[in-house]
Structure 1
Amino acid sequence: MAETRPTATAVAKATSSTSVQPKRKSNAISWLAPLCCVIAGYIIWRFIIGNDANFTHPDPNGGFWPNQQGPKGGLPKMYLGGIIVPILIGALLTVLTFVIERFLTISKATGTGNIAEFIRKVQYHLANKNVDAAIGECDKQKGSVGNVMKAGLRKYKEMITTTDLDTDQKVLAIQKEVEEATALELPMLEKNLVFLSTIASVATLMGLLGTVIGMIRSFSALGESGGGEAAQRLSQGISEALYNTALGIGTSAIAIIMYNIFTTKIDGITYGIDESGFTLTQSFASLYK
């Protein structure tokens, strides 16, 4: 009998078109979070960093982008970095939001205990033809691997007592059950990682854009005046513009690091899911010929 080992990656691609309506609703909620973070970023920039008390010469007119002058400390200088700063603050808040959300989701999906040890315990119980004990191990694992294994074990147990199918058909039924369970688990693991990968690339560019805009403003001020005052204003403008670069690079670094951490954890879970399917089909084919 030719045996095939289903891969979780292949299953995810094959089932990516299912459950369209729930995905649309979920995506709408996911896109709302960055918008809220950008609004929060503007509020922090305008009313906290740009508070009148932080400047020696606040703009009496107020408005959307007050022309505050004379920052009293290092943080208020960030306000003078320009309108790109609140966008970068929003990007940083977005990264932190999805990092927390992914950490909680992936931690729950990982379950309890070591995945390799869990699979070995299931293999031991199956070798002794104790399917109920194997299902009990899945209840203890409480993760994505346990969920997929449990779904497969239920079908495994059902196939033991089924008499109208041959061994190959029973193995295919178990394999199909594992694939369906995998299709339910994998999308939740990779959800929202696209925001981290996108911000990792875009945040640095946004920071450089803010710096370029700040440099243009500084050199424009230099051209309008001369002498030592102009040089002082130029150096101050460059310093303020570089806040954009620092904020953009910092945000990008956090996004890249956390994206790599999460993808590594997901790869481990995916491998465990693949091992689960292979364990069930191999065990049934060898014990119930």
Structure 2
Amino acid sequence: METKKQTKSKGVSAGLIILGCLALAAIFFFGVCGHPSHFDDKGHPLPGDVFGTLYQGGYVIPVVITLLLTVITLSIERLFALNRASGIEKNERFVLKVKRKIDEGDINEATKLCDEQKGSIANIVREGLVRYKDVEDIPNITNADKAELIQKEVDEATTLELPYLEKNLNIIAAISTLGTLFGLFGTVLGMIRAFSAMGHEGAPDSTALAVGISEALMNTALGIGTGALAIITYTYFSGRIQTMTNAVDEIGFAIGQSFVKRHGGLVK
């Protein structure tokens, strides 16, 4: 019996990514957006200057930028990881080829296809095929029970692979909410500043009023944009993982049915 290699969780640490994005956000906010070239002599942003206007958004802005950069970075990391996990060939084509070999009873050739395909799906299917060969020599149990052992092996291999496939997706899911919440928090702070300027006796402080409104709007826009991007990427990657697990379930069922069909349901 071949020993099963447990798949270890791989990928970039989310903590390191967040710290790196925080550093980049701080450099961008204070070094780029806060540069004097974006402001006039009175400290107001130049007309049409996006960076100066963004700087007026207040200190919540770098936090939201950190979340935005984290989503982008983790999405790129997951894209490469899932492409690597899918293997060389498209999943649909690989599934059809393996099922064809299984239906023909050519387990060795199906195993060879898995070795050539590589990736998480191929690893899982290969474990099921190895188990297919092993259970043929187990005495005193029905072939239907042997088919269940094969399916159990596929399920266990899937459980080992899933943490790698889903790595960092929980961070993206959390940011889909946090991005919007921090945006709203910055909006509230901006509105507080705006209403404070309007509450002065006499003529309102127009500069403070403009800064407060700008702070509110910039936080709203950036927070909603970050949350929306996180939702889109999370939905996309979750869908890809579900498609991959469905393909594994399909092949696992085919392996078990093929065993019962070729060996019958009696005690061997």
Same fold per TM (> 0.5)? yes
- Over 3 Å counting, the alpha-carbon distance change for 1:159 and 1:53 in structure 2 is same
Aligned pair partner of 2:173 in 197, 209, 219: 197
- Identical residues among aligned pairs (%): 40
Give the Cα–Cα distance (whole angstroms) in 2 for the partners of residues 276 and 126 of structure 1.
9
Aligned pair partner of 1:279 in 234, 254, 258: 254
Give the equivalent residue in structure 1 for 2:230: 255
Give the Cα–Cα distance (whole angstroms) in 2 for the partners of residues 84 and 91 of structure 1.
11
- Does residue 70 of structure 2 align to residue 70 of structure 1? no
Give the equivalent residue in structure 2 for 1:238: 213
Unaligned runs of 5+ in 1: 1-18, 59-68
CA contact (8 A) 2:182 2:223 kept: yes
Please report how far the alpha carbon of residue 157 of structure 1 lies from its aligned counterpart in structure 2 after TM superposition: 2.2
> TM-score, normalization: structure 2?
0.85
Please report how far the alpha carbon of residue 39 of structure 1 lies from its aligned counterpart in structure 2 after TM superposition: 3.0
Give the equivalent residue in structure 2 for 1:207: 183
Please report how far the alpha carbon of residue 28 of structure 1 lies from its aligned counterpart in structure 2 after TM superposition: 10
Please report how far the alpha carbon of residue 163 of structure 1 lies from its aligned counterpart in structure 2 after TM superposition: 5.3
Give the Cα–Cα distance (whole angstroms) in 2 for the partners of residues 192 and 105 of structure 1.
11
Please report how far the alpha carbon of residue 281 of structure 1 lies from its aligned counterpart in structure 2 after TM superposition: 0.9
Aligned pair partner of 1:48 in 29, 32, 37: 32
Residues 45-97 of structure 1: CA deviation (Å, up to 9, x unaligned): 11111123322348xxxxxxxxxx22222221111111101101101111111
Cα RMSD, aligned residues only: 2.5
Secondary structure at the counterpart of residue 199 of structure 2:
helix
CA contact (8 A) 2:147 2:260 kept: yes
Give the Cα–Cα distance (whole angstroms) in 1 for the partners of residues 140 and 16 of structure 2.
50
Give the Cα–Cα distance (whole angstroms) in 2 for the partners of residues 225 and 107 of structure 1.
62
Give the Cα–Cα distance (whole angstroms) in 2 for the partners of residues 144 and 29 of structure 1.
20
CA contact (8 A) 1:145 1:276 kept: no
Residues 131-163 of structure 1: CA deviation (Å, up to 9, x unaligned): 111112212332322111111111212333x15
Please report how far the alpha carbon of residue 276 of structure 1 lies from its aligned counterpart in structure 2 after TM superposition: 1.9
- Does residue 56 of structure 2 align to residue 80 of structure 1? yes
Give the Cα–Cα distance (whole angstroms) in 1 for the partners of residues 108 and 21 of structure 2.
48
Give the Cα–Cα distance (whole angstroms) in 1 for the partners of residues 116 and 170 of structure 2.
31
- Does residue 198 of structure 2 align to residue 222 of structure 1? yes
- Over 3 Å counting, the alpha-carbon distance change for 1:275 and 1:209 in structure 2 is same
- Does residue 105 of structure 2 align to residue 129 of structure 1? yes
Give the counterpart letter for 1:70 in structure 2: H
Give the Cα–Cα distance (whole angstroms) in 1 for the partners of residues 233 and 20 of structure 2.
21
- Number of aligned residue pairs: give it: 255
Residues 152-205 of structure 1: CA deviation (Å, up to 9, x unaligned): 111212333x15353244323322321221121111111111111111112112
Give the Cα–Cα distance (whole angstroms) in 2 for the partners of residues 270 and 108 of structure 1.
15
Unaligned runs of 5+ in 2: 1-5
Please report how far the alpha carbon of residue 252 of structure 1 lies from its aligned counterpart in structure 2 after TM superposition: 0.9
Secondary structure at the counterpart of residue 191 of structure 1:
coil
Please report how far the alpha carbon of residue 123 of structure 1 lies from its aligned counterpart in structure 2 after TM superposition: 2.4
- Does residue 121 of structure 2 align to residue 145 of structure 1? yes
Aligned pair partner of 2:83 in 101, 107, 132: 107
CA contact (8 A) 2:57 2:215 kept: yes
Give the Cα–Cα distance (whole angstroms) in 2 for the partners of residues 36 and 225 of structure 1.
46
Secondary structure at the counterpart of residue 56 of structure 1:
coil
- Does residue 74 of structure 2 align to residue 98 of structure 1? yes
Give the equivalent residue in structure 1 for 2:3: none
Give the counterpart letter for 1:82 in structure 2: G
Give the counterpart letter for 1:260 in structure 2: T
Secondary structure at the counterpart of residue 165 of structure 2:
helix
Give the Cα–Cα distance (whole angstroms) in 2 for the partners of residues 212 and 120 of structure 1.
55
Give the Cα–Cα distance (whole angstroms) in 2 for the partners of residues 130 and 28 of structure 1.
39
Give the equivalent residue in structure 2 for 1:12: none
Secondary structure at the counterpart of residue 248 of structure 1:
helix
